[in-house]
Amino acid sequence: MDREPLIHRKTAISYKTEEKTVMRGYDLSELAEEGYSFCDALFVMYQNRIPTAEEEKMLKYEMGVFMEHSMSPSAVAAIGVSAGRPNLPCAVAAAVSTFGGVHGPGAAHGYMLNKYLERAKKEGKTVDEMAKTLVDEYMDAGRPVMGMGQPQHIDSDPRAEPIHLRQEELEIEGVYLEFQRALEKHFHARRKKEGRSYVGVNVVGSGNTALMEIGFSPNAGWCLGSVCRGFSCAAHALFNMKKGRAWGASRNEPMVQMIDLSMIKYLGPEDRIVPKQEDRQEYARKQKEEGEYKKWVI
């Protein structure tokens, strides 16, 4: 059996021989035998260190509370993909890939915190002053402040504040939590001053703050969150594959299905005749000149 490497790369993450698999210097089997947790292993993977017990507890909490979120874009993607009955990993991969600039934007939030903390240092401002600067700059520009607001949990995200509290209880508050708390304070104050409704912190705002606090980079934190969600999305896909209808369009189900024809609402151009080829040039030229098509261009 060919056991040659698939690609030739230097890597500081791990190596694997016939005898063992070693990650950041630790034999994986030894790590498990010693009784470390999977969350401990993630610290070794991303930070090359064994975490404190409190840090491990924080990660365990954050991942646990983030894993399941019922119908979010990620679960919907997994269910949508599973409707065609590909292999299960396709649905899970799609779910993880939904995490972008809006759905669970962990890295974006992390980079935002890092950028403004760097500015605080450079500009000689306190954390509180810089948090206000961030809020003002984002809101003046009409940009959403990362980590604030959730479209479904409109009162307050049930995961968010408890994560902050747990971080405080575990006594692992640092500059990130200080910054995030200050950001929230100034965000609430500005919205109140502008007569706008209350918008609470979301799970990215608190969860990612905790992840950054315990040493994960923005991208590492993003990976932990989005991949963790993959666990539950796989369960949703599996439920639909084992107990649901393929395609999601059957008319024999008592409930209208996800992509039943009646679920389609069309807002595009009126029904029209396809031009004959002999009329094509003139038709196309006129269409281009009139320019009405431009309102449909996406």
Partner 1 sequence: MGNLTEKPELNEKKGEIGNLDSPKNPFDYMKREYGTVPLDTKRAPFQWVSEVAYKNVHRIVSRGYDTTEVMEEGYGVVDMLFIDYQARIPLVEEEQMLNYVMILALEDGLSMPAVMSRMVAKSKTFLTQAAGASILAFGHAYGAYSAFGNRLEQYLNKAEAEGISLGQAAELLVKENIHDEALGVSNLMLKDPAAKRMMARAEKLGVAGKYIEFTKEIVKAAQKLSDEPVDLDMMGATGATMLDLGFSPEATWAILAVTRAFATGAHYIEEVERDGYCRTGQTLTPKEFYDGPEDRPVPPLKDRSKVAKSGICQSVDEWVAAREERKKIVGSGHSIVEEIEDPSKKSGIRKVGKL
- Binding to partner 1, residues 126-185 (CB under 8 A): 152-156, 158-159, 162, 166
Give the strands of the sheet with 26-27, arranged side by side: 14-16, 21-23, 26-27
Would you count residue 45 as binding partner 1 (CB under 8 A)?
A: yes
| Integer Cα distance of 167 and 209 in angstroms | 9
Q: How far is the CB of 108 from partner 1 (least distance, A)?
A: 10
CB 232, CB 69: distance < 8 Å: yes
Would you count residue 89 as binding partner 1 (CB under 8 A)?
A: yes
Task: Decide: helix, strand or coil at residue 282.
Answer: helix
Other CB atoms within 10 A of residue 157 CB: 24
Of 117, 130, 222, 204, nearest in space to 164 by CA: 204
* Contact with partner 1 (CB under 8 A) among 55, 92, 177, 202: 92
| Integer Cα distance of 57 and 39 in angstroms | 8
Query: How many residues touch partner 1 (CB under 8 A)?
Result: 113
Would you count residue 298 as binding partner 1 (CB under 8 A)?
A: no
Would you count residue 112 as binding partner 1 (CB under 8 A)?
A: no
Is the CB of 60 or the CB of 191 nearer to partner 1?
Answer: 60
Is the CB of 126 or the CB of 158 nearer to partner 1?
Answer: 158
* Contact with partner 1 (CB under 8 A) among 6, 141, 297, 298: 6
Q: How far is the CB of 279 from partner 1 (least distance, A)?
A: 11
Tokens representing residue 108 in the block? 């974006």
Would you count residue 241 as binding partner 1 (CB under 8 A)?
A: yes
Tokens representing residue 202 in the block? 């979301």
* Contact with partner 1 (CB under 8 A) among 2, 53, 87, 194: 87
